[in-house]
A = this chain, B = another copy of it.
Amino acid sequence: MDEFALIRSLTADLPSNAQVIAGAGDDCAVLELGLPDRWVLFKTDAVVEGVHFTTSTPPEKIGHKALARCLSDIAAMAGTPVAALITLGLPREFDPGFIKAIYRGMKPLAERHAVAIVGGETTTNPDRLLISVSVIGTVEKTKCPRRSGAKSGDAIFVTGELGGSLARRHLEFEPRLREARWLAEHFAIHALMDISDGLAGDLRHILRASHVGAELLARAIPISRSARKPGAPGETTPASVKPPLLAALTDGEDFELLFTVASSDAVALLDAWKKKFPELRLSCIGKILAEPGLRLRESRGVKTLNAEGYIHFKQP
């Protein structure tokens, strides 16, 4: 049984109550606590030494990443984070200076987004450092895009550039909170999520939740410099050896926004975006289709994608 099968099994029959708007399966849990026009968002995310960072990762960057991942999930609901709790699993021998540096890495990020760090706990995790972050946020009820809202005919957009993030960006990325709220404020965003497991895999979550399919246009997918030129100066990790397009489709840890809008809104959205966020690329990468499955249109034809890359070749 793999991790996904286990999660499906664990989340199949969870206790619920009337306050749950969305439980397991979206970027955040969504709760009705009685606020007149806002829901409460609730999310937790952990990073583990040897899995998400190494003993040589600068501790400030570990702290930044641990909090930024959780905030990115709030962005994925177009929400506003309010407060975070930090759980530290500390090895038996730890350097207090290292732990303080982790917090130093979190604070500027928290302050930029007005997130209060309201405590947490330390416990012993004898063999390695583990940091679990929990975040509460809120979102306007009428402006909370879910994974399940994509409609046939929608245009698919992605912010930034994809692939090769493990070379450096995964430790430095800024959660797209401001951008996501602006999108939800000004356009009817049908579906929204953040890309953490790779474009192809994460888009599939939207397709499954929305009961639709999609076709991506290979030449429209924004490929990062790290994915094009592995091992560029300043990169700390030997980057992907995948072909650049495959890296952009399947590398994880991008933490960019992936969303769909009615195709009639696409041009106006691109124009408004360029004025509002001139520094951040926004790409229309394909369209939502009624027919299930995820396909990639290249100059030579249309291929069917699975999470690992290409599997079937189909004549255009």
A48 to chain B: closest CB distance in Å?
6
21 contacts between A and B (CB under 8 A): A3-B122, A15-B115, A16-B116, A16-B118, A20-B83, A22-B118, A23-B117, A24-B119, A25-B119, A29-B83, A31-B82, A33-B40, A34-B38, A40-B136, A42-B136, A44-B85, A44-B120, A44-B132, A45-B87, A51-B123, A132-B132
A 118-157 to B, binary, CB cutoff 8 A, 1 in contact else 0: 1111111111101010101010000000000000000000
**Residues of B contacting A44 in the complex (Cβ-Cβ under 8 angstroms):** 44, 85, 87, 120-121, 132, 134
**Residues of B contacting A46 in the complex (Cβ-Cβ under 8 angstroms):** 87, 89, 121, 123, 132
Q: Is A311 part of the contact surface with B, judged by Cβ < 8 Å?
A: no
Partner of A116, one of B9, B19, B110: B19
Partner of A24, one of B33, B40, B120: B120
**Residues of B contacting A47 in the complex (Cβ-Cβ under 8 angstroms):** 123
Q: Is A111 part of the contact surface with B, judged by Cβ < 8 Å?
A: yes
A 85-107 to B, binary, CB cutoff 8 A, 1 in contact else 0: 10101100000100110010001
Q: Is A1 part of the contact surface with B, judged by Cβ < 8 Å?
A: yes
A 1-31 to B, binary, CB cutoff 8 A, 1 in contact else 0: 1010011011101111101101111000101
Q: Is A114 part of the contact surface with B, judged by Cβ < 8 Å?
A: yes
Check A126–B83 contact: CB distance below 8 A. no
Q: A15-B107, A33-B82, A134-B85 are in contact. Are A126 and B50 (CB under 8 A)?
A: yes
Q: Is A268 part of the contact surface with B, judged by Cβ < 8 Å?
A: no
Check A125–B123 contact: CB distance below 8 A. no
Count chain B CB atoms within 10 A of each CB in A17, A100, A126 and give the residue with the most.
A17
* Cα-based distance from A111 to B13 in the complex (angstroms): 12
**Residues of B contacting A90 in the complex (Cβ-Cβ under 8 angstroms):** 3
A 40-75 to B, binary, CB cutoff 8 A, 1 in contact else 0: 101111111011100000000000000000000000
* Cα-based distance from A35 to B52 in the complex (angstroms): 37
**Residues of B contacting A52 in the complex (Cβ-Cβ under 8 angstroms):** 123
**Residues of B contacting A116 in the complex (Cβ-Cβ under 8 angstroms):** 14-17, 19-20, 23
Of all chain B residues, the one with the shortest Cβ separation from A26 is: B119
Check B33–A117 contact: CB distance below 8 A. no
Check B128–A10 contact: CB distance below 8 A. no
Q: A34-B38, A38-B34, A132-B132 are in contact. Are A29 and B85 (CB under 8 A)?
A: yes
